[in-house]
Amino acid sequence: MAKHAITLNINGQQMDVAVDSRELLIHTLRDRLRLTGAHIGCETSHCGACTVDIDGASVKSCTVLALQAQGADIRTVEGLAGSEGLHPIQEGFFEEHGLQCGFCTPGMLLRAWRLLQDNPNPTEDEIRHGMAGNLCRCTGYQNIIRAVQHASEKMQSGETAAAE
C-alpha cells in the first residue's frame, strides 16, 4: 500500500508523518506519533475513548482517515496541561473523582474541553447532553458531571492553567 506524506497540526505543533490511504487517525496518533492518550475502545464510534478536537469540534478519531486531517488543527489530551500544571478539566476529574479505571478519561476530558469552549457555563442537563456520546463503564457519571462543573467554575473565575 502506498504511503502518503502529510502534515498534521497537533497541539500547536506541525508533525510530518507518512500514512496509508486507509489509515485511521487514531492509529496515526497512537502508532506513528506515539500520542497514546486517546484510546481505541470500540472502533465503531460508539464509546468516545478516541475523542480528539479537530477544527473546533469533538471528533471520534476512529471515524476519520488520517489523510482527512491534513492541515486541520487537532488537540489531543496531551495538549491540555501546560507549564503551569493541570488544566482545570484535568483538575476537576481529579478533585471530583471523575474517573475510575481511566480508560475513557482522555476522551471525556477532550469532550468536556470542547463543551466548555462552546458553553462556558453549562447546566447539569447541558453537561449530560454534551457528554452523552462518551461512555464510561465504571462510574455512575455523577462525578464526571461534577468534574465538568468544577472546571467550568474554575475557568470562569480566571484560574485557568493551560490550553485555553
pLDDT in tens, 26-67: 999 999 999 999 999 987 889 999 999 999 999 999 999 999
Q: Which residues pair with 16 in a beta bridge?
A: 7
Mean pLDDT score across all residues of the chain: 93
72: phi then psi, degrees, rounded to nearest 5: -80, 155
Could you tell me how many residues make up the chain?
164
User: Which of 55, 130, 137, 144 lies closest to 97, judged by CA?
Assistant: 144
Which CATH number do you get for residue 131? 1.10.150.120
Per the structure, the count of domains in the chain is 2
Closest listed residue to residue 76, CA positions, set 111, 37, 34, 25? 37
Tell me the Ramachandran region of residue 48: left when phi exceeds 0, alpha when psi lies from -120 to 50, beta otherwise: left
Of 78, 98, 128, the position where a domain reaches its end is: 78
What φ, ψ does residue 135 adopt, rounded to 5°?
Answer: -100, 145
Which domain range does residue 64 map to? 3-78
pLDDT of 48 reads: 93
| 67 and 7 in a common domain | yes
pTM: 0.91
Considering the domain boundaries, does residue 151 fall inside one? yes
Q: What is the pLDDT of residues 61-73, one digit of tens each?
A: 999 999 999 999 9
Asked if residues 88 and 80 have their Cβ atoms less than 8 Å apart, the reply is no
Cα-Cα end-to-end distance for the chain: 39
Beta strands in the chain (DSSP E): 3-10, 13-20, 51-54, 57-60, 73-75
